[in-house]
Amino acid sequence: MQYKISYGKKQIEFKLLDHQSLQVVEPPPTSTALQSREVLDEAFANPVSTKTLSEIIHGKQAVNAVIVVNDVTRPTPYQLILPPLLSEIENAGIAAENITLLLALGIHRPHTEEENRVIFGDAICSKYRIENHNCDENLKSLGYLSNGMELILNRTAANADLLITTGLVNLHYFAGYSGGRKSILPGVAGRKLIEANHKMMSDERACLGNYSSNPVSDIMVEAARMAGVDFIVNVVTAGKNEILYAATGDVYDAWLSCVKYCEKHNVVSIQQPADIVIASCGGYPKDINMYQSQKALDSAALAVKDGGTIILVAECSEGLGEETFEEWIKQAFTIEDIINRFHNSFELGGHKAYAICRTLKKANIILVSSLSQSVVLDMFLQYAENLEDALRIAYKNHGDNPSIIIMPEASKTGIKVADRE
């Protein structure tokens, strides 16, 4: 039987035998009686646990506004989200020249002007100021969080009369779910704070789909509260231009509303883990580099047997994607070198190398990508030129009749094993 799976900006086909034990695991098809714009209008009209945005602006007598927006690695439908948001802000009295779109880059590279125009559209780029966050410059301390971390944030955000965050809510490999509070920490935080927060991922509660008593998520919420986020716009999407669900309002409660929707629609039950899991990130930009593609491994790890094989299909057109991540990989001789380095001398970026090694402790990983064989082997992964070669390698380990799970959108699919529920 023929199957297709996303790889970069295209799809690749592969064939599996009809007699193989096979399950395609992906969120069920979603349907909504409302179009994307209607979903947004409903969310703006009924903010969660706050007044309307106009009422907030008038109450604060705000003169300027900062809107925190996602970067290119997160396909957020901004050409749908921003027009009604900006219109409401301007109608409430804040002039366009006093509105800044602040890119929540964390430690990611800055955007080019061309990327901004693709993401936001020419009209928005021509009318509003767009600023790249820099985790090493233009920062301000807002005091200390309850765990002793200093809350150092982008100065533009910290000084805003009105602070709004936007984003996507879906599964996240150690924060539980993305969106909401993540726009502040790590989105517009200083490097030292981002590092300290990411190091907490070694806690067993910091895992995919867990938002209750997750220490990473909890301190992110506290940081967003201290930063004074006034209003959020978060969405759940079926694709870049299709909004299934949206919530506006309180930085925690509106986010949690989206999380509950995701939990209902994105966590899938399986009867038992498989010998082989074929996992795609869902294509570009989610597989733009290995730094981003790693997220799919945490979902795949939930679906594979101990000692099984994960075949990760990720183009990685921009290579590994982060300098420290690349450095840790090149300097390690064993996966234990990376694990020990994470615990003894943590560096942001290296945490992704740690996350890969954590998965390698459970399963073999074969990578189908545009990366060279030497780079793949440096990550302690098995190299395959294409998916057919990857399957041949996997069959050598598990025989000709293994159980197989295909995950076309692994990074947005949670897994529950039926007998463990």
CA distance 271 to 264: 18
Nearest to 369, CA basis, from 4, 6, 66, 109: 6
Residues 6+ apart with CB under 8 A from 318: 288, 289
> What pLDDT sits at residue 64?
98
Distance CA 223, CA 210 (A): 19
Second CATH level (architecture) for the domain 36-264: 3-Layer(aba) Sandwich (3.40)
pLDDT reported for residue 141: 98
Domain limits, the chain: 2-27+271-420, 36-264
Low-confidence ranges of the chain (pLDDT < 70): 30-33, 239-240, 419-421
The residue with tokens 């990327």 is: 115
187-207 pLDDT tens trace: 999 999 999 999 999 998 998
pLDDT digits (tens, 9 = 90+) for 306-354: 999 999 999 999 999 999 999 999 999 999 999 999 999 998 889 999 9
What type of residue is 98?
Answer: N
Backbone angles phi, psi at 393, to 5 degrees: -65, -45
Name residue 105's amino acid: L
Identify the pLDDT of residue 420. 58
Tell me the β-bridge partners of 236: 245
Whose tokens are 């396909």? That residue is: 75
Judge whether 235 and 168 are in contact, CB under 8 Å: yes
Q: Domain spanning 2-27+271-420: which CATH class is it, in words?
A: alpha beta
